[in-house]
Each structure stands twice: as structure tokens, then as C-alpha cells.
Structure 1
Amino acid sequence: MNASVRLMSADPEVIVFNLKQRYTGVSATINALVPLQAQQWRLGFCGTRMSNGIDGMSLREAMALSRKPPAGRAFRIWHVRRDPEMMAAIFARDVLRLPIKLVFTSAAQHLHGRFPRWLISKMDAVISTTPLAASFVPNTTAVVPHGIDLSRFSPPSDKLKAWTDSGLPGQYGIGVFGRVRPDKGSDVFVQAMIQALPQLPGATAVIAGLAQPQHQAFQQELQRKIDAAGLHERIVFLGEVPAGEVHLWYQRCLLCVACPRYEPFGLTPFEAAATACALVCSRTGAFDQLAVPGLTGEMVDTDDVDGLARAVLAVMHDPQHAVQLGQAARERVTAKFSLAREAEGIARVYSDLFQQAKV
């Protein structure tokens, strides 16, 4: 049995929810946090089986378990991160009258719709992942940035030689990670690479992410542009990379590009930075807290193909320069965005709720 599975409590004081079937950035956060939180709390998990081997109880089982408080506590905490989970939690607390308190994590950097705002207003505590996200949630309890598992996302022994493990041509890798679709800026990346790669003869670009059926035509059009530019061997679609292998591609790449048109937080460049990737990011999400021009990489406006190409060339003109930026990026993630720091911030919110019950 997986050691992390054994950490799940039969009488949890906190239950973490992840009811969505598809693996997303939220899923990745929960996947990383739960084993660490299970060392700090009597923890339960409700939802889809995670890639780390943890099986979740069903919502019905979570409700049945929560009919009475856990040993030593006046209530259980349900930590939810999505609208349907908030709906189920409010029903459980306010209709079924279960002894639970509700914590919600908000990452959206825009005003929530009317119904989500109402759901959020009913939470007992709200964690926002950035100050900007908090500005859209009046009842934010704490700002706790996402954190990265620094043991899993770690630098290779030699960043300049790591690309040889990819099996692809070139000496260095430039990677973009995430779904292939317009809002992720996949087209911006491809067009910028078509401009930049002729000036970077040692570099190969990879796009690591799935194109869902509704975006297959979008990817096919990008492939046509790549082929027309004669770069079919130097701009490569990897498809969906298994969650357990993503860190290997970060390690292989010298530069990570994150150029979405919108992102609530955006974990991928943080994960890449933890493996000592230099960064080029668009101005969205929490990227401005990580991609510091001249220190860890460069930043560009969203939708700016020419600016992205120039930024990539500025970082990659000298591989040793890119290595230095990547080392600084690793140091910044270590100092400010570790998984341990996120778990500590969440723990303070849980502790405050439990403490309030004793007052």
C-alpha cells in the first residue's frame, strides 16, 4: 500500500475535496498538498483518485462520516475549491445540519459571477491565492500562494546537458506546459517560436499538453504553420504528459514559456522554476511574483507574439545566461513558494476556525 494512503485518517478533522474527474491545475495542487497535510492533521480526502495513489471517499461517504464531530473537535472542516463542491458543502451544513465548517480557496483574478459570489459569501473561511484574487473576494480570510514540492521538482545535475535525455534534436529545450487551446496562448507560443528558432540553431521547442476534441482543429492549424515554416522537427507537440513525468520535461528544458491570455494563478512556471528553468511569462496570473525581468527571466504582454520572440531571444542568446536566470528562479521559488509554506498558511486558517469554537 502507498505510504501516503495509510496517512488518511478514519476519523478526519479536515476533509479535502476534489470531485472533478479530469486532472487540472487544482487537482495538481491537491495532489501535492494532501500527503503533506496528512502529516499535520487527521485528514480525509473526498473525490477522484489522485496520481499519488490516494483514493477518495465518495460525497455520500463524506456526509455520512460528518454526521457527528470528530474526536476532540466541535466540527469537521470541509476544504472545497470549486463551485459544485461549495454547493454540496452548503447543503450538508445548512440543510442536513451537519457539524462542519467550510473553507474555500479562490484563485480567480476577476469578479466572480453573482451565484459563485453568493456561494463564497456562505463560506466560514476563504483563502485567496494572490492579493489580486483577494481584492475580488470581500470575505477573504488569508492570502496563501500556491506552493511547489521542491523535492519532486528539483534541478537536474547539469541543466546544460539535460536536454540529451529528451531524444529530440538540438542542444537545449524551450517548453510550454498546459492544454493546447487558445486561452493558454498555444498559438502565441508557436508563432513566436517560428520567429525565434531560426536565430537559435541549438534550440528545440516542445508543447506538453493535451488538445481536447474541441481543440483538435486548432492544433492541426498550428501544425500546418509549423510545417510551412519548415520547423516540424524543432517545434514538437508532445501530447499529454503523464503527471508523474512532467517534472522530467521541466528538468530537460532550459527555458519555460508561459504565455496564456488569462490565468488565475498558473502553476506551471513555478514548477519549472523549481527545476531551474529560466522563465518568459505573460502578464497574467501570479507570474509577476516569479518572473522578474533580468533576474529570473522576462515578462511580456498577453497576445504579444513579437515581444515573446524578443524575450525568448534575450534569455537564450547565451545558454549560460539562461542557466543563471534559472538558478535565480529556483532560489525565488524556494524562498517564497514552497509547498511547506502553502501548507503552513492553510494550517493557520484551519487552526483559527478550531480556536474560534473554543472562545
Structure 2
Amino acid sequence: MRVLMLSWEYPPKSVGGLAQHVYDLTRALVKQGVEVHLVTLAAAGAPAEEVVHGVHVYRVEPYHLSAHNFAHWATQMNIALLEKIIYLQQKMGGFALVHAHDWLVAFAARAVKHALRIPLLATIHATEYGRNYGLHTDMQRQISDIEWWLCFEAWKVICCSHYMRGEVRHVFQLPEDKVMVIPNGVDVSSFSTVSAQARREHYAAPDEKIVFYVGRLVREKGVQVLLDAAPQILRHYPQAKLVIAGRGPYEGTLRYQAEQMGIAHRIYFTGYIDDALRNSLYKWASVAVFPSLYEPFGIVALEAMAAGTPVVVSDTGGLAEIVRHGVDGLKAYTGNPSSLADMILQLLHNPQLAESLRQTAYRRVVEHFSWSQIAARTADVYRQVVEAGRRSAWYAFAERSSGFLEKVTRFWSRPAI
């Protein structure tokens, strides 16, 4: 089965968790016998075309024209994607289906669906409605409209959690049988590589215990709640050190908050860190904390569990489905600094509990969140969609149209008399 996949993120271009998801999913799909052709955006230092773990990757340069807003820029990007897709269609002769990730590739995905008459499958990783707790601006409403349009055009919609399935059905009014849940996964082996240069003492004193957060610094990730919880944590456990890794538009606000609270000397903002340093910090940390206000899945929690770090998460979204309270992690009330501090302090004061949760969490990741299982389920959806498409009147029309076009092409390509 030859599949065309569209994603605006793919390593080394990484803005959020989408890039890692597409990287892991595509290489696992190849092992399931799927021929994957991924069209994505160019990234500095990355080749225009390459094969990564059997995945055919094509990177395109977006137009450098002025755009009034992000949605206009996304439209220009989609046309650049289409230029590459037309070339691939001519070169290889077609695809079984097109798989689109999020609204940023919706225009190209919809055009491919109707131009090539192949089914469209969409994965919705988050919604504009959910990210902003409603739609408050014209830009947010425009993006939400494009998300609805992508879901409407898709044969099936994949979500990564039951929470997201409910959100997508509610926001876009989708029928129950159109939306399915396939969770994210994690590659346990990828956490064995650690940084050769970094040392624990660069981030905390020998007698300090690290409370670690890694992720984008945006409001919905709830780092401000962790900072609000810090005085209570430090009052009951003075040896705690908060290490906050990542970058994002909210970083300046968070730094200012720490200064105003008088706790900046107990907080280490690392900025961007690579995977090896992230793995090292996971191993040095006593607790990994993810206090999200909105979290469609929460792959960072899986990563911490795979790295062998005890986790505390907010009881929301996909995080609430991953972590079972008191079994493989602890949950705090969403947006509640006191509850978050209580859960973190439980693990700092009770190493035996932390170790028990850590071991159970690791087993859960290995048994239920491997990419091989997730890719097998995704490949099965591909087969169902392709087979259903071929039985449909829509596909029959495409077959008739294709035969007619072949006759017209042969007629006009005859030698002149």
C-alpha cells in the first residue's frame, strides 16, 4: 500500500509534538509493509529528498511572499506542497490514500483527494477551540472552520485520546462512527542515549532533588501553575530544585513571574535542550511534572514513564487517560497549585512510593504504547478506508472518469495525418 502523508512538521523541523509523532509513526508503518511518502516543509540543513528508516521524505520550501496572517501563510505553504505532490503523482503513478495531520495541510489534502480521487484520512492532534477555551477572534474562527472542513472531507478522523474524540465530535458535530481513537506511542530504546557533556551539578546541587518539566512554554501547558506551587513545595522540601526545559512565547512571562515571587534562584530555565540532555535530566530528576490546562494526549508523560521517572500530571485530557492515580503516577486537580504541590511532595518525601509508580509506569508503556502496535492499528484503518472507498459510488465515478480521460489522452496523442 502506497500512502501519501502530509505534515508541516518533521525532524529536524520541530515546533511541538507533531514532528516526533510523524517520525515515529511513519517508520513503524514501514515495518508494517506500508510504503510511506511524506511531504513536509524544508528545514535548515536537511536534504530536499531522503529516505529515513524506509520513509520517503520530500521537503519543500514555502513561498517567501508577504502574508497577512498565519492562515494566509498556511495557504501559500499548501500550494508549495501541491507542486511536489503533482510531481510525485506523475513520477510514481498514484497513491492508495492521503493522510493529513492537522489543519495546516488541509487545503493540499482536500485538493489531492478530489483531483486524484483517493480517500482522505485526517489525524486531529488538537483543536483551535480547545487550545483557546473557545473561539474569541476572527483568526481563531477561521482556523476552526478549516479544521471542520478537513474533518468533513476526511473518510475517517483519528484522535489520540478519548478526550480528543469527544472534543472533536462536540466542536465539529461529527458522527460517532467517523472518529476513532489510536493513541500516541513511545520508543523506549530512544531514552537510553544520554548527554556526554552535561553533568547533574550543572543544574542542581548534590543535595537537591530535581523537579523537572519539559515542553513548550505556552499558557495551556500550565507551567505558571507549577511556579505558583513552588513556595509550598520549597516550604516543606527546601532541597527541591525546579528545572524547566523548553522554549515558547510564554517564557518571558514565566521568568517575570518567578522573579516577582522571589523564587527565581530556585528555578532553572534551560531553554531548548536536545534529546540526549532531556534523557539525562529525566534520569537525574526525582519527579517529572506536567501541569497542563489543556492536553489532547500528553506524550511527554509517556516519555517520562519510558525514561523511568515518576510522574505527576494534571487530571485533564489525554494525561488523565495515560496515568492511573496511585498506580503508575499521581494526578493533581487541574489548575490547582496546592493540589499540584501536594502530589509532588508525596513523591519527594516517599521514595518507596516513587519507585513503585516508576516501575509500574515503565511496564505499562512497554505493554500498551509501543509504536509497532499503534502502526498496526493505523495500517488496519488504511486498509478499511481503501476497501470502503473502492466499494463506494464515489470511487466508481473516479474509475469511469479515469477510463474516459485515458481515451481522450490517446486520441489527442495520435500522430497527425
TM-score bracket for the superposition, by shorter chain length: 0.7 to 0.9
* Pair 1:348 & 2:340 matched: no
* Pair 1:47 & 2:40 matched: yes
* Pair 1:38 & 2:74 matched: no
Structure 1 counterpart of 2:350: 318
- Residues 216-236 of structure 1 show CA distances to partners (whole Å, capped at 9, x for unaligned) of 43033123045x24x61x321
Q: 1:290, 1:333 within 8 Å by CA — same for their partners in 2?
A: no
* Pair 1:126 & 2:118 matched: no
Q: Secondary structure at the match of 1:79?
A: strand
Q: 1:147, 1:338 within 8 Å by CA — same for their partners in 2?
A: yes
Q: Which has the larger radius of gyration?
A: 2
Tell me the TM-score normalised to structure 2 length: 0.72
Using the TM superposition, name which of 134-143 and 105-114 deviates more. 105-114
Greater helix share, structure number: 2
* Pair 1:65 & 2:88 matched: yes
In 2: Cα distance, 1:165 partner to 1:251 partner = 13
- Residues 47-102 of structure 1 show CA distances to partners (whole Å, capped at 9, x for unaligned) of 136899845343222232125875xxx743221112131221112222xx224321
| Aligned counterparts, 1:172-187, within 5 A | 172-187=209-224
* Pair 1:93 & 2:113 matched: yes
In 1: Cα distance, 2:379 partner to 2:232 partner = 47
Say if 1:244 and 1:30 are closer, same or farther in 2 by CA, change over 3 A: farther
The runs of 5 or more residues in structure 1 that have no matched partner are 1-11, 157-161
Q: 1:16, 1:46 within 8 Å by CA — same for their partners in 2?
A: yes
Q: 1:69, 1:99 within 8 Å by CA — same for their partners in 2?
A: no
Using the TM superposition, name which of 132-141 and 203-212 deviates more. 132-141
Q: What's the offset of the Cα at 1:114? A: 4.2
The runs of 5 or more residues in structure 2 that have no matched partner are 61-80, 135-142, 392-417
Q: 2:209, 2:241 within 8 Å by CA — same for their partners in 1?
A: yes
Say if 1:16 and 1:132 are closer, same or farther in 2 by CA, change over 3 A: same
Say if 1:57 and 1:98 are closer, same or farther in 2 by CA, change over 3 A: farther
* Pair 1:76 & 2:96 matched: yes
Q: What's the offset of the Cα at 1:319? A: 2.2
Structure 2 counterpart of 1:203: 240
- Residues 121-172 of structure 1 show CA distances to partners (whole Å, capped at 9, x for unaligned) of 111221121223223142535310111112113599xxxxx98476522443
Q: 1:16, 1:78 within 8 Å by CA — same for their partners in 2?
A: yes
In 1: Cα distance, 2:192 partner to 2:275 partner = 15
Structure 2 counterpart of 1:188: 225
Q: Secondary structure at the match of 1:350?
A: helix
Q: 1:154, 1:276 within 8 Å by CA — same for their partners in 2?
A: no
Correspondent of 2:189 among 151, 176, 179: 151
In angstroms, what is the RMSD of aligned CA positions? 2.9
Structure 1 counterpart of 2:8: 19
Q: What's the offset of the Cα at 1:192? A: 0.9
Runs in 1 of length 4+ with deviation above 6 angstroms? 50-53
* Pair 1:142 & 2:134 matched: no
Q: 1:291, 1:299 within 8 Å by CA — same for their partners in 2?
A: yes
* Pair 1:224 & 2:259 matched: yes
Say if 1:83 and 1:273 are closer, same or farther in 2 by CA, change over 3 A: same
In 1: Cα distance, 2:279 partner to 2:240 partner = 19
